[in-house]
Amino acid sequence: MILYYIIFITSYLLCLFDFAASRSIKFLLYLCFCTCITLIVGFREVGLDNDSIAYQEMFGMYRNSTFDQIIAGGYGYAERGYVFLNRFIAMLGGNYRVLFVVMAIATALVNYSYFWKKSDYLFLSLLFYISFFYLYRDFTQIRYALSAAICLWSMNYYFNKRYIYALITFIIAIGFHNSAIILLLAILILRLFKSDIWYIIVPIPCIFIGKLLTLPLLFSVFGNGTDHMDIYLKDESLGSASISLVGYCLCLLYFFLTNYKASSFDSDSTLIKTGDYNFKLVSIAVAMNFLFINISIFQRFSFILFQFAALLIAIIISLIGERVKERYLFLVFYLLIASFLLFYGLRMINVDLVRPYNFSFYD
């Protein structure tokens, strides 16, 4: 498991370069590191993670599927965008190994380009992503990982009122995983609730309601669902309370920074507007995860919104930098946040997610 420790610790050490003056140096280090961790995902041995064997078997099925079968879907068929990608790679003579590499590269390009363009503390955002999602998504849930990454850009386009791009990227995201549908609910909530205070208050009752909700209870109200959904009746491990606690703390900190003695902040600035939008999305994720804390399948929805905390945390650091005049206090606070992310990431390294790493360059 030593490779995973090296990845997390290296990402932590790279945070020092968030304070480098040269953007060229940042880009070179960022590019090299992101390329390495992407290739590690793409060339992993089948069976290293929990889902790669299933994806290998699915490729064998999809490569021989007709286009009519893919359109019709049915048992065994995933989202059509992903199935068509499998079929296209097979038509070009590729195998499941090519598929893994293509999915890893596509996910990395979408994810890491977003952080490069949007985050003022690039390596801290990257560390956040690696700590919470790298082992969970990039290795195991490759369809979901790519879809979630595309959702970052889709909501960014929506926020900047580029609605055609938002719609196109949303359709592509849905084509790889249906959980991207959560963006529609998020947009509806953003339109209905404008005040920041709602996003601090609403997660609190969700804590108590979530203690009562279970998947069998929901099925008893809405019906037993499909055979596929019934599988989750046997998988009710507690939802990830950690993202709720971490996310809510970030929301409280952002709310405090922008509302308590914050007269020096320009509410119309790009930083505050971007911060408000990310703060609200993270708050929705927190409320959802509290509400469905007993139902692990709903994490797929809440995690899509929780990933916006990777940018929110960089915005919070920027706001702290403007309010704290003593540079050493600012650096201490930055170090504490980075150290917590490293600690969280290291705790993710366990055999329930990944096994000891082995490369696999060929079939």
Q: What is the pLDDT of residues 195-223, one digit of tens each?
A: 889 999 998 888 888 777 655 545 444 44
For residues 356 and 363, give the distance between their C-alpha atoms in angstroms, rounded to a whole number.
19
pLDDT for the residue 234: 47
In this predicted model, what pLDDT tens digit does every residue of 250-293 receive, in sequence order? Answer: 999 999 988 887 666 666 688 888 999 999 999 999 998 888 87
Domain ranges of the chain: 193-323
pLDDT tens digit sequence for 50-86: 888 999 999 888 888 877 777 877 777 888 889 889 9
Mean pLDDT of 134-138: 90
pLDDT at 239 over 50: no
- Phi/psi of residue 49, nearest 5 degrees: -110, 180
Residue of 299 and 52 predicted with greater confidence: 52
Mean pLDDT score across all residues of the chain: 86
Q: pTM of the predicted model, to two decimals?
A: 0.89
Does residue 355 surpass a pLDDT of 70?
yes
Integer Cα distance of 180 and 68 in angstroms: 25
> Quick check: 334 and 314 in contact, CB under 8 A?
no
Q: According to the model, what pLDDT value does residue 361 have? A: 62
Q: Are 62 and 83 in contact (CB under 8 A)?
A: yes
- Give backbone dihedrals phi and psi of 359, rounded to 5 degrees, phi first: -80, 155
What pLDDT shows up at residue 226? 47
Q: What average pLDDT does range 129-154 have in this prediction?
A: 94
Under 8 Å between Cβ of 139 and 48: yes
Cα–chain-centroid distance for residue 298? 14
Residue 263 has what pLDDT? 67
Q: What is the C-alpha separation between 183 and 166, in angstroms, rounded?
A: 10
Distance, in Å, from the CA atom of 288 to the CA atom of 240, rounded to the nearest integer, reads 11
> What pLDDT shows up at residue 238?
44
In SS3 terms, the chain reads as CHHHHHHHHHHHHHHHHHHCCCHHHHHHHHHHHHHHHHHHHHCECCCCECCHHHHHHHHHHHCCCCHHHHHHCCCCCCCHHHHHHHHHHHHCCCCHHHHHHHHHHHHHHHHHHHHHHHCCCHHHHHHHHHHHHHHHHHHHCHHHHHHHHHHHHHHHHHHCCCHHHHHHHHHHHHHHCHHHHHHHHHHHHHHHCCCHHHHHHCHHHHHHHHCCCCHHHHHHHHCCCCHHHHHHHHCCCCCCHHHHHHHHHHHHHHHHHHHCCCCCCCCCCHHHHHHHHHHHHHHHHHHHHHHCCCCHHHHHHHHHHHCCHHHHHHHHHHHHHHHCCCHHHHHHHHHHHHHHHHHHHHHCCCCCCECCCCECCCC
Give the sign of the dihedral formed by CA 12, CA 180, CA 185, CA 202. negative
Indicate the pLDDT class of residue 43, thresholds 50, 70 and 90.
Answer: very high
Spatial separation of the C-alpha atoms in residues 108 and 126, rounded to whole Å: 11
Place of tokens 């000891």: 356
Question: Could you read off the pLDDT of 18-32 as tens digits, one per residue?
Answer: 999 899 999 999 999
Q: Is it the case that residue 338 has pLDDT exceeding 70?
A: yes
Stretch 280-307: mean pLDDT: 87
